[in-house]
A and B are shown apart, each in its own frame.
Chain A
Amino acid sequence: MFSKTFVQELAIKTNLPTEDVELILGKLHQTVKETLLSGESVHLPGLGVLQIQHLSSLKEVDPASGKTMLYPPKDSLEFTPDN
């Protein structure tokens, strides 16, 4: 998930071993992914909120063909930054 350079930077900043930093970040990635897939949002303090947004199906008239089209629903990952 995270590049080695980024992990080394964090290790330098925290004065922790690189393996510990990589382990913590890996666990963070797994937790966030499972939380999002379970339908819950994840709040990273100081950064923002990650959540899955469900877009319902949409019925519109295609201007090109003039036919009424029904577009399927969609789940997408949305991010709302903190102030």
Chain B
Amino acid sequence: MDAEKLFENIQSGTGKNPTDIALVLDALITSVIEKTRSGQPVDFAEFGSFSFSEYSRIEFAANSDFAKIINYRYNNSRPIVVEDGILPSETSEATLQSGQIIPTLAEVYPTEEPAETTEQDAPSILTGVESDFASPFLESQSEVKASPEIYSTETESIQEVFSSEPGLSTVFAESEPEIALSQEKTTEESSPFIGEPEQIFLPEDSTTDFAGVVTEPNEIPVYSQQETQPEEPGSATGYTQPPVEAAPSVPQPSFSWNEPEATGTTEPAETQGTEQPAGKNADGSTGFQYQYLSHTELNKEMDKLWIWVLIGLGVIALGGFVYWFMQGDVKKLKKAQQVQTASDLKDSIAQESLVNKVLETVNKDSVAALSGATSEVPVPAPATGEKSVVVPASPASKVPVPAVVTPKENSTPTSAKPVPVQKTESKPVVSPATKTTVPVKPDVKKDTKPAEQAKPAVSAGSADGLKGTYDEAKGGFTLNVASVPSADQAQKAVNSWKAKGYASGYKESVVNGKTIFRVRVGQFPTRAAAIAGQAAFKAEVKDAWVDKIK
């Protein structure tokens, strides 16, 4: 209806002047706009109210009574559950969309609240379309009581559980009214969660939970959807309770060996006296067996496990520390050994240098002695037939001046060889200046025995031992100059050395099972003299080595 028709209707209905009607309508609209824009809602009784929205627009909200009048066809209609998307047979979706078949809609959408049901007709209410009207979130205590099959609480009867456990019945015997009250409360609270299995962990000492399930201490109740049993006649509460079954604890397997001693303490009283054979489980089987632990026992085992883990970590850390400490000690020892080796090497080098110096000195001395010995060529005895002993006058002068001593008559002539008397025990390092030569005094001419004068004296550091004859029976020391495998070769070598004027010989020896013949040159009374001869003989053979004549 537009403004003109509205104006005509009002004019025909009231019979007033059109100007007055126009003034009133204009004033009405102007005042509504002004008031709504100023924030004041304009309320028209039995019609609705105009207001200014936050989007700067004028809004209109119909009065509830007027809205019911407008929606008179669908008032009190409620939503229905469509099974598998199929509508009831009386109507179709097209007719519902049109909204013109009011009687059919009245049948489909009930216009009245479901009547308060009783226990007798409750099963009939639960069948059919009407049962779906009850929303699980809008259920009330009366609905729960009237529909035991749907709203079964899956809980046990606390009284039954208490009666089955003598200890619990005595404990809770005095609080039965409180238990009944809690049963009703827990039924209302737990009804929305019916059918959803849940695992609820309880404290150790708790025996009841909110749903009324009584469990053993340290056991975990498991809620599962079970079939309800018909209600016993005369039941006070009207609840249906499932059969009492011990809620199985959640198996927490732990791998352990079944020990007979442990089973005797944990088994019930009926089986405590029974003895199990060693190495066998309770069921007679052998081997490993799963042991089901409760929640608290599992926690204890986990605590022990943590302790062992911490101990293991500590042992590992200690081992690492010891290893690190030992590594440090080993490094220190290696460093000390290196330092000691270096010092020993230095000492050995110093000793070697000292030995070299001594050897050089000895060589010098031996050369000097050899030169002195060659200068001490004895002067032949005078042809007068007088026997004399040539004695070097002064060893320090290196040129001995022979003193001609006229022997007495009774003196026994022994030999014409000069006998230079020297100390044979003197070491080669001793300089020749320190050598003491004992000249034969004329006063002791009587006492001088020819044997003593004829005794050959080998001076150390001289090449005297090299010359002469080689007699192995005399012993002493010699120089090995060569080792040959046959005696002929040894003899040839000996002959060649003898041809050069050296005292030479050979000796058969066995080395590593082989027979060798050692060619020897010279014969010295002491090792020192042999060493001196070795130095003098170095010009001939460098590798000659001192050996003892056996």
A residues neighboring B (CB under 8 Å): 1-3, 6, 9-10, 13-14, 16, 20-21, 23-25, 27-33, 35-37, 40-48, 50, 52, 54, 56-57, 59, 64-65, 67-77, 79, 81
Contact = CB atoms under 8 A, between A and B. Distances in A.
Given A1-B46, A29-B47, A14 B58 contact: no
B177 to A, nearest CB: 36
A20 B81 contact: no
A2 B42 CA distance: 9
B77 A72 contact: yes
Interface string B44-56: 1111101000000
Interface of B: 1-3, 6, 9-10, 13-14, 16, 20-21, 23-25, 27-33, 42-48, 50, 57-60, 62, 66-67, 69-74, 77-85, 87, 93, 96-97, 99, 105, 108-109, 132, 135-137
Q: State the 3 A-B residue pairs at the shortest beta-carbon distance, nearest first.
A: A79-B60, A72-B77, A77-B62
A27 B14 contact: yes
A61 to B, nearest CB: 10
Contacts of A9: 31
A79 B43 CA distance: 15
Contacts, number: 162
Given A2-B44, A31-B13, A68 B85 contact: yes
A18 to B, nearest CB: 11
The B interface, classified by DSSP as helix, strand, loop or mixed, is: mixed
A17 to B, nearest CB: 9
A37 B69 CA distance: 8
A69 B132 CA distance: 10
A23 B479 CA distance: 167
Contact of B71 (A14, A41, A74): A74
Most chain B CB within 10 A, of A6, A28, A33, is at: A28
B25 A2 contact: no
Contacts of A73: 73-74, 96-97, 99, 105
Contact of A79 (B59, B70, B136): B59
A24 B21 contact: yes
11 contacts: A3-B43, A24-B14, A24-B21, A24-B24, A27-B10, A29-B47, A33-B66, A70-B79, A72-B105, A73-B97, A75-B74
Nearest to B8: A31
A29 B57 CA distance: 23
Contacts of B108: 72
A25 B1 CA distance: 17
A41 B5 CA distance: 12
Contacts of B87: 70
A65 B137 CA distance: 9
A70 B2 contact: no
B80 A69 contact: yes
A46 B81 contact: no
Contact of B13 (A27, A32, A65, A67): A27
A22 B58 CA distance: 24
Nearest to A15: B23
B57 A31 contact: no
B60 A50 contact: yes
B58 A31 contact: no
A44 B3 contact: yes
B82 A68 contact: yes
A14 B24 contact: yes
Nearest to B6: A31
Contacts of A76: 62, 67, 70-71
A25 B47 contact: no
B1 A30 contact: no
A74 to B, nearest CB: 5
Contacts of B136: 64-65
A45 B29 CA distance: 8
